[in-house]
Amino acid sequence: MKVLAYVDGVKAEITEQAAKSLTHMNLAFGHMRVTGELEAGHLQLPARFEQIRAWNPGVKILLSIVPFDPNAFTVCAADPALRVKFAGSCVETIAQYGFDGVDFDWEFPCMPSNGHDCSPADKRNFTLLCEDVRKAIGPNKLLTIAAGADLYYVDAVEPEELARILDFVCVMTYDLKCGFHALAGHHTQLYSSMGDVFRNSCDQALRLFHSRGIPKEKLLMGAAFYSRKWENIKDRNHGLLQISEKGGGYGPNYGLLAEQYINKNGFVRYWDDEAKAPYLFDGSIFLSYDDELSLKYKCEYIKEHGYGGIFYWEHSCDPSGALLAAIADNAR
């Protein structure tokens, strides 16, 4: 079972225990330019690759890539010459820094909601970009993507085509409720609760991707080392599934939750056994997050159903290492 961490490549610290607990690390982020160039010189962690691999010779370290310039993915994917140039930049960067492959975090093809001038042509062009990069880096280097965890994503890409090109897909089964949702609820739940009008969950997302042609062993479930927060919630049902005046913003990371929020300062921890998810409520503020127990259920689900593994965003959000330890203990 794969255990993958998204790691801040500039400031994150990797301990020996963490390195030994992981099968994969995705460094965030390399920068894709609209010119087809790839930049990674700002990252600090590659200087520690030798030590990390001494602790865990089997760990695979990938560069996760986001668009630095607006529209970089759309522009480069649409132009055959830029696709080839970008693929060459991937090869050069892998060789220069010693990466084991690259990961694309395009949020999202065909979707203009993140302020990019996306196009319906992104659907086909993303496949062509992945094909060109695969040809360039060869079969012995890893090529993966981070994918939105709902119908909008699988309709905006070519899942069956990507399945034959990619090594695996990190399905971002967090932010399932976020700034788009004026309903206080779980943002990374394993299952949907009865009464939840948004029927999205980790289980639903992985089943959806598999139904569209991606083998189970190539699908990784996402976990959240941070929370989502809804404010001014009515004190009903401990805040769960109550309408908010606005969407859910980012809440504290897990380290801060453990220090100041979980059964502290007026916040009470509750457990939703349907969703297999914890939450906090103080009578007005609702916080959704993952903890050791929810991660145990996620790992058991992955093993029971034959999926490829688990990953999380983001490593520095839990300085104690408690959440990774829970994953490592239950991934065996």
256-273: pLDDT as tens digits: 999 999 999 999 999 999
Q: Residue 153 phi/psi, 5° resolution? A: -80, -50
Q: Give the integer Cα–Cα distance in Å for 184 and 228.
A: 9
Phi-psi region of 86 (alpha: psi -120 to 50; beta: other; left: phi over 0): alpha
What is the reported pLDDT for 132?
98
User: In the structure, what pLDDT confidence band is assigned to residue 113 with cuts at 50, 70 and 90?
Assistant: confident
Mean of the per-residue pLDDT values of the chain = 97
User: In the structure, what pLDDT confidence band is assigned to residue 165 with cuts at 50, 70 and 90?
Assistant: very high
What is the reported pLDDT for 181?
85
Q: Give the integer Cα–Cα distance in Å for 93 and 119.
A: 28
Q: For helices 80-97 and 122-137, what crossing angle results, to 10°?
A: 40
Average pLDDT over residues 65-75: 96
Catalytic, out of 107, 231, 274, 314: 107
Our answer to whether residue 245 is catalytic in this structure is no
User: In the structure, what pLDDT confidence band is assigned to residue 72 with cuts at 50, 70 and 90?
Assistant: very high
CATH architecture of 2-226+288-331: Alpha-Beta Barrel (3.20)
Per-residue pLDDT tens for 7-20?
999 988 999 999 99
User: In the structure, what pLDDT confidence band is assigned to residue 236 with cuts at 50, 70 and 90?
Assistant: very high
* Contact residues for 194 (Cβ-Cβ < 8 A; gap 6+): 274
Based on the number of CB atoms within 10 Å of its own CB, is 127 exposed (0-12), middle (13-18) or buried (19 or more)?
buried
What is the reported pLDDT for 12?
84
Q: Give the integer Cα–Cα distance in Å for 35 and 245.
A: 42
Written as one letter, the residue type at 150 is D
- For residue 220, which of 158, 142, 299 has the smallest C-alpha distance? 299
Q: Residue 187 phi/psi, 5° resolution? A: -100, -5
Domain positions in the chain are 2-226+288-331
286 pLDDT higher than 90: yes
Structure tokens at 170: 């990190």
What is the reported pLDDT for 162?
98
141 pLDDT higher than 90: yes
Within 10 angstroms of residue 112's Cβ, the number of other Cβ atoms is 11
User: In the structure, what pLDDT confidence band is assigned to residue 103 with cuts at 50, 70 and 90?
Assistant: very high
What is the reported pLDDT for 238?
98
User: In the structure, what pLDDT confidence band is assigned to residue 116 with cuts at 50, 70 and 90?
Assistant: confident
Average pLDDT over residues 93-115: 95
96 pLDDT higher than 90: yes
Q: Give the integer Cα–Cα distance in Å for 165 and 144.
A: 9
Per-residue pLDDT tens for 293-317?
999 999 999 999 999 999 999 999 9
DSSP codes joined into one string, 30-95: EEE-TTS-EE-TT-SGGGGHHHHHHH-TT-EEEEEEEESSTTHHHHHHH-HHHHHHHHHHHHHHHH
Nearest 5°: CA angle at 314, between 311 and 319?
Answer: 115
What is the reported pLDDT for 115?
83
User: In the structure, what pLDDT confidence band is assigned to residue 179 with cuts at 50, 70 and 90?
Assistant: confident
**Contact (Cβ atoms closer than 8 angstroms) between residue 74 and residue 116:** yes
Enter the DSSP assignment of 102.
Answer: E
What is the reported pLDDT for 147?
98
